[in-house]
Amino acid sequence: MKTAKTYALLGNPVAHSLSPLMHNAAYTRMGIGARYVALCPNDIGEAVRLLRGGDIAGASVTIPFKVSMMEYLDHIDEGARQIGAVNTVCRRDGRFTGHNTDWQGFVADLKARMDIGGKRFVVVGAGGAARAVVYGLLREKGLPVVVNKTAEKAAGLAAEFGCSWLPFEEIGAVLGDCLVNTTPVGMFPNMEASPVPKEILPRFRHAVDIVYNPIRTKLLQEAEAAGCVTHTGLGMFVGQGAEQIRLWTGMEPPLDVMKCAVTERLGRL
C-alpha cells in the first residue's frame, strides 16, 4: 500500500490553527492519500530540520518563520521574493521552493466582492500579512496606504512597494474606499480589541479584517454599525489554503468543503 503523503504546518504557536482541519477535510473529499499535521518547532533551525529531514511533501509556514525560512530554501518564486515572506513550501526532487499564497487568497476573495482597480485601501499593519496584501492590491491596480503604529515600519514598507503611508495618529484624516486590518488585533482569545478607533469607520465604504477567528471581529461589528460593507477573513484563509493544495497536488480543491469545515468549527468555539 502506498504511503500517504504528509503535509505540515510549521509555526509557533500552532495549537489554535484550523489549517489541519481544513486541509484534511479537503483531502478526504478529494480521495487522495494525504494527511496534514501541525508542528511547533522552537526555532527556525528546528523548523528547517523537520522540513528537510523528514518525509514532508509540502509545508505551510506561519508566524514566526515566514521571513527566516526563505534563506534555507533552494528557490523563491517571484511573488514571494517581492513580498519578502513565504507561507508555502513545495518539495520537488529533493529541492524546496518557497511561495506566498496569502496574496492570492486575499485578492481572490476581495475581487468577488468589490472592484480593486483605482480604489484607495488603508492597510493597517506593516508585517508579513500587510506585505502580501499590499502586493496583491498593487497587482490589481489598487492604491494602498500603509498605516502602522511604528511609523518607521510603515514608511519602510511603503518605500519598498512604492505606495503611500501615514503614521497611525493620522488615520482619522484619511478617506478611503476600504479599510483592511492585517494585524492580529481582535483575534481569539483577545476578541474585545479592535485595531482602530470606531470613530474613523464611517470614512470607509468597505472594511476587511483578515482575522478569521472569530469570524465577526469587534472591528467588523463596529464597521457594520457604522454603515460599512464588511468582509471577514474566512475567504482569504480558505483561498490561501486552496492555492497551497493546487501547488502540492496539481488538483482542484473543494472550496465548499474547506469553508464548511472551518465555519462549523468556529461556530462551536
Active site residues: 66
To which residue does cell 486552496 refer? Answer: 242
How many other CB atoms sit within 10 Å of the CB of residue 33?
10
Any idea of the CA torsion for 193, 199, 201, 203, to the nearest 10 degrees?
-160
Query: Grid coordinates in use for 109?
Result: 476573495
Q: Which amino acid is at 57?
A: A
Residue 112 DSSP SS3 = coil
Q: Residue 120: which residues within 8 A CB-CB, separation 6 or more? A: 142, 143, 144, 145, 175, 176, 177, 178
